[in-house]
Structure 1
């Protein structure tokens, strides 16, 4: 990002503080206007001639650039998978707590792996419990895989919308 005196072009296409087009202006005049309004002159792109420049509030340009970098870094990171463990005989209050926790995780952009530990003939109960949870969390995420019953656990993974 090129700002103020670092802009070497002789003429710039100037965009005002409120987004209005001020036309083609010599760089010296644009800098004088920026100082008069107590704002920064920021060059958006050097690819065109004359380069488009904006009048942006002092310090706001750096803040916007920093936010843009943070967003790009956040998009690069792969979503994490967080695991929530349950039992088929879970109390209603505890189930509600797990449901809220899963909703928060999905809203945060991470995937949730719901795992129900089973023993004996609790497979049907565990599957019904997971189906209810998936239905309740459908506003926040969708199933990546079906409900998988394997040995001592039943699980399903929900990906954020």
Structure 2
């Protein structure tokens, strides 16, 4: 069973997938928004400082990559390009949160029957093994569901892993 997390620790450490517009809004205006393409270019030359003045770096556009590639290609892209980026980000800026912002609805994400894995449902209905490919199978048991309270109801805003090894 996946644990729920309602604290804001994910803004300061680890990496997250966030799709809730109310949650992403303040991050977009925080000056630390970068495109997926720009973030991946950092692997060739990392900036001396993380962008923005806050504790969070928001990377946008990842769902476009996942939508245009074949599912197997998208999973390979996550494993071979994005996961190493997450690991390097954590090694360099472990006191900052890394957030992959999705411009899609919560219905674009599905949990496997055992709640161990997060799948991304593409526009064509195909599924991409998101949490497994992005955070590795070893991190699957460490994935937390990010929630916020809205009038006494828990709203899922995304998913989080503290550390990718």
Q: TM (normalized to structure 1)?
A: 0.31
Bigger relative CO (Cα 8 Å, ≥ 6 apart): 2
Q: TM-score, normalised to structure 2's length?
A: 0.31
